[in-house]
Amino acid sequence: SQKIEQNSEALNIQEGKTATLTCNYTNYSPAYLQWYRQDPGRGPVFLLLIRENEKEKRKERLKVTFDTTLKQSLFHITASQPADSATYLCALDINDYKLSFGAGTTVTVRA
Amino acid sequence: DAGITQSPRHKVTETGTPVTLRCHQTENHRYMYWYRQDPGHGLRLIHYSYGVKDTDKGEVSDGYSVSRSKTEDFLLTLESATSSQTSVYFCAISEPTDTNEKLFFGSGTQLSVL
């Protein structure tokens, strides 16, 4: 069966450090992968999209990698700030513009 | 939230009663989706629509039906609510192109079935 796994439910890091989140998947061949941020009581907000032919994508302090051989995406938040504290979701393209989501990783950045 | 309104924001109902959740968008996006979010499961797709009167099932569609009679409205109906349908429901919209497939989400509806 198809499965998306995100590393550990929670990640606690010190301000200024880099947070690295993992998204692993099985039995999918996605054309692209997306990352979303979700704050408590709110809907997810799109952050980045990376396609199967792209190795790396950057947006400000965010970096995403995509390895289709390992079936894995890594999401990095560099120079983390307390405002980066949130739950981060990875989502894979199933087909026909449908996304399947992982359960998310909650990041807490300590000042 | 990108011109998406979900109503109601909170609802408490009893087992066996029908419930309808509404998603209204002002973006004129073609695709609309209903997801539910539960602890440990992340977001799971219930139903989606790719145009007026064009809908299809997602991975957890049992016990749910949808309707889309206008571009801007997508309704999710629980014909006979059960306690297992207690969840947070999110509506999402998209207007996918070859270079832009992102979803915009509403603020969610917290549904409790007692």
List the single best residue of A9, A97, A100, A105 to mutate versus B (max B Cβ within 10 A).
A97
CA distance B17 to chain A (A): 26
Which of B56, B102, B104, B110 is the best substitution to test chain A (most A C-beta atoms within 10 A)? B102
Q: What share of chain A is helix, strand, coil (3-state, %, to 5)?
A: 5, 60, 40
- How many angstroms separate the CA of residue B1 from the nearest CA in chain A? 8
The span from the CA of A47 to the CA of A22, in Å, is: 15
Q: What are the pLDDT digits (tens) for B53-95?
A: 999 999 999 999 999 999 999 999 999 999 999 999 999 999 8
CB A81 within 8 A of CB A18: no
B94 contacts in A (CB within 8 Å)?
Answer: 97
Which of A49-53, A63-67, B94-98 has the lowest average pLDDT? B94-98
pLDDT in tens, A54-83: 989 999 999 999 999 999 999 999 999 999
Q: Cα(B48)–Cα(B68) distance, rounded to whole angstroms? A: 10
CA A58 to CA B66: how far, in whole Å? 38
